[in-house]
Structure formats: structure tokens, C-alpha cells
Amino acid sequence: MRYLNITFFKKHFENPLFEKIKIYLVVIADLYEREKIISYILKKINIKNFNLSKFSKENKLSKIINAFQSPSLLGGEPFVIIEDIEIFSKQDIQNLNSYLKANDVHLIIGASTRGASSLLYSSIEKKGLVFDLSLEKIWEKEKRIASFVLEKCLKANKNITSLVIEALFERVGLDLALVENEINKLITFVGLKKSIEIEDVQSICPINITESVWKIAEEIVWGKINFDNLSIDTAYFHLLISAIRFQLQLGCKMASILESGKKYDLSSYFPKIYPRALEKKKLIATERKAIFFKEAIKSLFEIDLLSKTINMNLSNLLDILKTKLLYLSAYDINATS
């Protein structure tokens, strides 16, 4: 079973027989959106009957199998959540696929792309449910997020027109975490008013947030890792985390190509980066090496996870991230000098 549309996906849970589905694969590029869908599935399932195990860091398949096979002292049938299938090796994913074919287990798997989940995709489509937004068109995404905004407003007893939603998107883009943050601010801002108007959006929603955050992220990863001179509202923390992750992944890919020992034309791999900027990034990637970017991605994931699991000041989390990146940078330089 496969759904490529959020409306039909949600209708699936209106059928009492949905509980027969035990395995879910959620393919969405944006981590925040993926986690929202995983949370939605968990709300629809009576999780009180299960013993949840969540895996979000690099692991081996043996730990997953152990979670399925080892009964909990608290009782409940095992239910495993894998936030990102890419935390496992290709061989482990193949073995997991074989295990799922031979066993009846409760499992939710997240993936950023269809390619990352290709070894499991067809099996889960036959045995469970796949929700895949990887091929979603931009206008489809706009419609989906507009529906999300409308639903949020209706729950808060606020009216909002399509023109106001368009004005919001013009200012903040289609990043769900950012849109959700801004619509929550608007609902609070209008107070007892029954409607959210364009003037409200113009009053409190900043312009070009996405562009500013991506420039900050680029400076953090490819500059001097100095947060002190960079100002950003912590309300946009998760957008910044996503932007930093993208830049780190870019650096990891570039450093890995350079370390392969083969002569490659980097411009063919990164055609959208201007030659002068590419040369600058090449020098930094050569100096820091792939290990820096890989470890930095792990640290970033830990910070992102902390922000969603504990009540901690987001500014302090950014300070921790800065410290980790500076340490990794210094460690790498000292280790290779």
C-alpha cells in the first residue's frame, strides 16, 4: 500500500482496518515534517499496548532485532521507530529487509529519499504502508502546507483567507517548521480578533527569513565557525539546523571526493556553486577532511534531538553546537598537522 498524498494518507486511518498495518515507511526529505508524520501515526495507534524503542543514531541491525525479540519488563509488544534508515549500513538494510519478510513486527521507518530506502521500499509497499512525498511538486507542497495553516487556524477559532496565507508564504517560504512557528505567533498576536489579516502578517512576520538563515548556515560551516557575530531569532532554530545540515552534507561529499585520490572536476558535481566559491570550499574541505563533516553531522543530530526531547534554552543549544564544531575543527587540524 502506498500513498503520495497527505489527504488520502490521513483517510487511511479512518478505516477501522488500518490497525492491521504493522509496518510503515515515511519518505520525506525534511526531518521536521518526517517526525510530524511519525508522531501522527503514533497518535492514531493505541501505543499504550506497545513497548516503544526509538533509534536515531548510528546503530547495528543486531540492536533492532534485539528490541523485537527481548520482552520488556514493562510489558507490551515491541514497537520500533527508526527515524532515518541511513543510520544503518547497506548490508544491515538488506538484512533488515529479509527479517521483515520473515517476521510480523511493528515498525516505523523514516527516510529522506526513496533512494535511501530503495532496499526496503517494495517490500514494505506490499506488506505494510509507504507514505512518500519525495516526488511532491512545489504547488502540491504549497497546497498541503496551506491546508495545514487553515487547520491550525480553525482549531484556534481564527479565520484566514487564501490571500493572507499567500502573503505568509511570500515572507517565510514553505518550510513547515517556520510556517508553523509564524502561524502560532499570528494566532497569539491577533488576540481576540476573529480573523488574521494581511496587515498582521506584515506586522510580525520577517521578510526573507529562509534566505538569511541559509547565509548564516553557510558562514558557520565554511567560515570561522563563529556564532558570536551572527544574530538569529531562536524561533527559527530548526530552520537553521536544517540549513547547517545541508552545508555539512555538502562538505562531506566534497571532502570524500577529494580524498578518493582520483582526479575529478568538482564543478561537474556542484554545478550550482560559482567557481570562486567552489574553490574556497574546496580548500576548506581539503583542510578539514571528511571526518570533520561526518562527526559534525552527528553532533548536529544530537543537538536537534535535544531540542525536541528536553526543555532547554535554544540559544544554549546553539552555544553547545558552536563548541562542538570548534572542538572538531581543532581536533582535526591537530591530528593531521
Q: Band the pLDDT of 213: cuts 50, 70, 90.
A: confident
Q: Band the pLDDT of 235: cuts 50, 70, 90.
A: low
- Of 132, 158, 183, which residue constitutes the final position of a domain? 132
Residues 159 and 268 in one domain: no
pLDDT at residue 205, as a whole number: 84
- Of 207, 224, 239, which residue constitutes the final position of a domain? 207
Q: What CATH code is carried by the domain that includes residue 227? A: 1.20.272
Q: What CATH code is carried by the domain that includes residue 42? A: 3.40.50.300
Residue 334 pLDDT > 50:
no
Residues 304 and 236 in one domain: yes
Q: How many C-beta neighbours within 10 Å does residue 221 have? A: 23
- Of 191, 207, 223, which residue constitutes the final position of a domain? 207
Report the Cα 62 to chain-centroid distance in Å: 25
Q: What is the 3-state secondary structure (H, E, C) of 41-83?
A: HHHHCCHHHEEEEEECCCCCHHHHHHHHHCCCCCCCEEEEEEC
Residues 122 and 24 in one domain: yes
Residues 203 and 221 in one domain: no
Q: Band the pLDDT of 272: cuts 50, 70, 90.
A: confident
Q: Band the pLDDT of 217: cuts 50, 70, 90.
A: confident
Task: Tell me how far apart the alpha carbons of residues 331 and 292 are, in angstroms, rounded to a whole number.
Answer: 9
Residues 77 and 188 in one domain: no
Residues 111 and 142 in one domain: no
- Per the CB < 8 A criterion, the answer to whether 328 and 296 are in contact is yes
Residues 83 and 25 in one domain: yes
Backbone CA torsion sign across 61, 66, 69, 75: negative
Residues 120 and 144 in one domain: no
Q: What CATH code is carried by the domain that includes residue 192? A: 1.10.8.60
Residues 65 and 163 in one domain: no
The total of structural domains in the chain comes to 3
pLDDT at residue 337, as a whole number: 42
pTM, entire model = 0.67
Q: What are the tens digits of pLDDT across the range 58-73?
A: 667 888 888 888 766 6
Q: What are the tens digits of pLDDT across the range 107-158?
A: 999 998 888 888 899 999 999 999 999 888 889 999 999 999 999 999 999 9
Cell of 323: 563548541
Residues 6 and 56 in one domain: yes
**Residue 273's domain spans which residues?**
210-336
Residues 102 and 165 in one domain: no
Across the range 216-230, mean pLDDT stands at 75
Q: Band the pLDDT of 336: cuts 50, 70, 90.
A: very low
Residues 225 and 265 in one domain: yes
Cell of 124: 514494505
Q: What are the tens digits of pLDDT across the range 155-195?
A: 999 999 999 999 999 888 888 888 998 999 999 999 999 99
Averaged pLDDT score across all residues of the chain: 84
